[in-house]
Amino acid sequence: MENHSKTFICISNYFKGNDFLISMKKLGNKVYLITSEKLKTKPWAFDSIDEIFFMPGQDVDWDLDMLLHGVAGIMRNEKVDAIVALDDFDVEKATYLRENLRVDGMGQTTGRFFRDKLAMRIKAQAEGVPVPAFSALFNDDYINHFADTVAPPWVLKPRSEASASGIMKVHTKEDLWHKIHELGDNRIKYLVEQFKPGAVYHCDGLNFNGKVLFSLTSQYLATPMEISQGGGIFRSANIKHNSEDDKAIKKVNEQVMLAFGMKHGATHTEFIKCNEDGKIYFLETSSRVGGAHLAEMVEAASGINLWGEWAKIEDALVKGNTYGVPSSKKDFAGIVLTLSKFEHPDLNGFNDSEVCFRVPLEYHAGLIVKSDKHERVRELLDQYAERLVRDFATVAEQKAVKKLH
């Protein structure tokens, strides 16, 4: 009788993805996890992991040659069917391993479109997807032309960091050049882009055989950049189903996935609706489930567990099966989240019937609410944000990015 069990190597240098590991094991597979030694004490889903390996350091500290030789060592006695990156920062690691060990899946060239913000913009622009005006920082004449022809303010963005990490806002050409000179040789790891005020959205999806099978559009009510630059309460909620914005964003999301060569898996893509012209502009994408517990928010609104379905997609690929996404609900959900001055904040006072999830992270206070009414979700998020600011919130100093990807 044929053994239908397959072997997956999962990489995560942050504590996330337990639902993926659990689902993959339930599907009858062998699951290896490679993570950072700093995460040894985290509550991983050990019952669903056949073996766990720890790398010295975290993220940019990982020695890729050591990682390659370690995985090659596993392969001496084990046929590895797939390598999966569970976090944004693991995409390069997984593509590097796949290329060197000739394992099927996204390679380094395609992987660039889901990690390198400059590669994203160049490709999107070439494929007719609207993007804010931008320039690489390789050539001084190009930078001067950008500054002389594109109205400020501008933002300097690291090409391969996640969320709003390392972003700097500038208002004059003089300030722009001052920042670039401060970057020194690291300037090549940044780009400059026109800042377009507007509503920022994210579209969280599942893809199979080059098609978007599921997507949910949500709006950041306080954007990651605003929180990164000035502190505050993170909030996001899905928007009204089949609204004009919903349809427009999903259409551009499909354009991006096709242009970037996304074949299979979960994606998290961000867009802005510009206040000035009302157009939808592409900001960035990633081949992963969104962070900050957005997966739980998506599940509350739709009934779709992105981690679990992603595992089913990866399982179907290596076993040569088809995949169909379950039917989704059309409810509404939102998340409110802040850093907390308490290690284990007591959120029992938030006891409305719509509360469906309490964020379990230490020194964080956050909740997810769900309802069949869009207005009720927004109302609760506003109320809870005020209460969290008053009773729990604190602000951590934003550290400068010293080690760039």
Structural domains for the chain: 7-112 (3.40.50.20), 133-194 (3.30.1490.20), 198-391 (3.30.470.20)
HSE at residue 225, side-chain half, CA atoms within 13 A, is 17
Long-range contacts of residues 64-73, Cβ cutoff 8 Å, at least 24 apart: 64/93, 64/96, 67/34, 67/93, 67/96, 67/97, 68/96, 68/97, 68/100, 68/101, 70/34, 71/9, 71/34, 71/97, 71/101, 72/101
d(CA 294, CA 306): 10
Query: Helix, strand or coil for residue 322?
Result: coil
Per-residue pLDDT of the chain (405 residues; tens, 9 = 90+): 345 899 999 999 999 999 999 999 999 999 999 999 999 999 999 999 999 999 998 777 899 999 999 999 999 999 999 999 999 889 999 999 999 999 999 999 999 999 999 999 999 999 999 999 999 999 999 999 999 999 999 999 999 876 566 899 999 999 999 999 999 999 999 999 999 999 999 999 999 999 999 999 999 997 555 554 455 689 999 999 999 999 999 999 999 999 999 999 999 999 999 999 999 999 999 999 998 899 999 999 999 999 999 999 999 999 999 999 999 999 999 999 999 999 999 999 999 999 999 999 889 999 999 999 999 999 999 999 999 999 998 876 655 555 665
Q: pTM for the whole thing? A: 0.92
Contact predicate 160/286, CB 8 Å: no
Within the chain, what is the greatest distance between any pair of CA atoms? 71
Give residue 227's region: left, alpha or beta (phi > 0; psi -120 to 50): alpha
- DSSP for 138-171, written as a single string: S-HHHHHHHHHHSPSPEEEEESS--TTTT-EEE-
